[in-house]
Amino acid sequence: MMNSGTNRKVMLVTGASSGIGEATATRLAALGAHVVMVSRTDERGNRARQKIHRAHPEASTDLLIADLATTAAIRSLAGEFNAKYGHLDVLINNAAVMTSTRRKTSEGFELQFFVNHLAYFLLTGQLMAALKRAPAARIVNVSSTAHSRGEIDFNDLQMERHYRAYDAYANTKLMNILFTYELAHRLAGTRMTSNCLHPGVIRTGLMRGVSPVLHTLWQSLGKFFKQPEEGAETPVYLATSPEVEGVSGKYFRYCREFGTSRASNDRDLQRRLWEESERLTGYRFDV
């Protein structure tokens, strides 16, 4: 297995080739972590990795390529990681998409639902053994204040009847929090923690999958948004700060703990989404 350096913590970041993910990977590498960057394409991933090493010549990074839109790709990614590394100190589930029309993955899942929620769930489960081997692993899920508009309808979980891009996105961001909280309950009594966050309204490429009109509007408003480097502050804080050592099952904005919607705190909803996620992925989560 790969030796990433005696004192370097191993941290994996999904969606690390652009936006908040790239900025997070850059900050973590600058702080001395060994950063495993996950990118959908080799070209974009290598470009981001080279950029990090130009800015920080002493950085320690690795690049794994995976399109997190299928269960097979996620299992393959986890298998590749597990073959290279003995443990994982920090997992940052960051990759997300938004699409203006309802799109399906090759396995028949609605794309936002799979990438924004099921991929978090399945990748975390597939890497759980490596997380358990770390002295005190941290799981960090990037959510959004959009979760407050989210709703969970188990009769139409993947919005087959009434699809709207932002509603679908808000639903998945609520799912991120439900997953985070349920995972924290299941990790109680261990040295592992599970937290989530809102990074701020950030100028990223998230909206490139929506309609041209909305994309143009987003671009025009971009000058009022924060840059990805600012969006990386809270995930980096949750990944590295001694202030949150042992803190679990919380939601953060601007490196501070905040409350979340009533739905996100519904224990029955947390448990049921977990069980449905196990059923849909065919993966029984072992914590």
Query: Where residue 190 sits, what CATH number does that domain have?
Result: 3.40.50.720
Q: What is the pTM of this model?
A: 0.91
Residue 2: the pLDDT is 57
Contact predicate 171/151, CB 8 Å: yes
Residue 211: the pLDDT is 53
Work out the burial of residue 256: count CB atoms within 10 Å of its CB; fewer than 13 is exposed, 13-18 middle, 19 or more buried: exposed
Asked whether residue 1 is domain-assigned, the answer is no
Residues of the chain under the 70 pLDDT cut? 1-6, 201-226, 228
Asked whether residue 127 is domain-assigned, the answer is yes
Asked whether residue 286 is domain-assigned, the answer is no
Among 281, 98, 49, 253, which residue's Cα sits nearest to residue 179? Answer: 281
Domain that holds residue 229: 10-280
Asked whether residue 285 is domain-assigned, the answer is no
Q: Tell me: the pLDDT tens digits for 9-28?
A: 999 999 999 999 999 999 99
Asked whether residue 5 is domain-assigned, the answer is no
Tokens of 106: 């090759």
Other CB atoms within 10 A of residue 57 CB? 7
Residue 200: the pLDDT is 79
Q: Check 120, 169, 181, 251 and give the catalytic one.
A: 169
- Matching residue, tokens 């959510």: 143
Asked whether residue 4 is domain-assigned, the answer is no
Number of domains in the chain: 1
169 is catalytic: yes
- Matching residue, tokens 């950085």: 59
**DSSP secondary structure, 31-94, as one string:** TT-EEEEEESSHHHHHHHHHHHHHH-TT-EEEEEE--TTSHHHHHHHHHHHHHH-S--SEEEE-
Asked whether residue 142 is domain-assigned, the answer is yes
Asked whether residue 18 is domain-assigned, the answer is yes
Residue 222: the pLDDT is 46
